[in-house]
Amino acid sequence: MSVSFSVFAGDWMLHRLNNTILEATGLQPLVVLHGYNYGVTFLVGRELMPQAVQSMTGFPVYTLPEVEIRIPTDDWPFLYLRPNTVPYAYLTVLTLILVTSLVAVRQTFGADLLTSRRFDPVLFLMGAAFLLLETRMVTELGLLFGSTWIVNASVFAGVLVMVLLANGYVIRRAPSRIQLWYVPLVISLLAVWWLGAGTLNQFSLLTRGILGGLLFALPVFFAGVIVSTLLKRARDVPGALGSNILGSVVGGCLEYLSMYAGLRKMTLLAIALYLTAYLILARQAAQPEAAEAALPLKADA
Is residue 214 classed exposed, middle or buried when 0-12, 13-18 and 19+ CB atoms within 10 A define those classes? exposed
Q: Where are the beta strands (DSSP E) in the chain?
A: 2-6, 30-32, 39-43, 61-62
What pLDDT does residue 161 have? 94
Percentage with pLDDT > 90 across the chain = 59
- Distance of alpha carbon 11 from alpha carbon 53, whole angstroms: 22
22 pLDDT above the threshold of 60: yes
Per-residue pLDDT tens over the stretch 266-285: 999 999 999 999 999 999 88
Pairing of strands 39-43, 2-6: antiparallel
Which distant-in-sequence residues (6+ apart) come within 8 Å of 110 by Cβ? 118, 238, 239, 242, 299
3-state helix, strand, coil in the chain (%, to 5): 65, 5, 30
Residue ranges, CATH 1.20.1250, the chain: 88-294
What pLDDT does residue 231 have? 94
What pLDDT does residue 91 have? 93
- Distance of alpha carbon 223 from alpha carbon 184, whole angstroms: 10
What pLDDT does residue 34 have? 87
Cβ–Cβ < 8 Å for 75, 262: yes
Phi, psi of 32 (to 5 degrees): -100, 115
CATH number of 88-294: 1.20.1250
Bigger pLDDT: 13 or 47?
13
**Strongest mean pLDDT among 47-51, 111-115, 190-194, 202-206:** 190-194
What pLDDT does residue 292 have? 55
Q: How many CA atoms lie within 13 A of 88 on its CB side?
A: 1
List the single range of 128-142, 154-168, 191-205, 282-296 with lowest mean pLDDT.
282-296
Split at pLDDT 50, 70, 90, the class of 241 is very high
295 pLDDT above the threshold of 60: no
What pLDDT does residue 301 have? 34
What's the whole-model pTM score? Answer: 0.88
Per-residue pLDDT tens over the stretch 89-126: 999 999 999 999 999 999 999 888 888 888 999 999 99
Mean pLDDT throughout 139-155? Answer: 85
- Distance of alpha carbon 226 from alpha carbon 230, whole angstroms: 6
- Distance of alpha carbon 201 from alpha carbon 233, whole angstroms: 42
| Average pLDDT for the chain | 89
What pLDDT does residue 299 have? 45
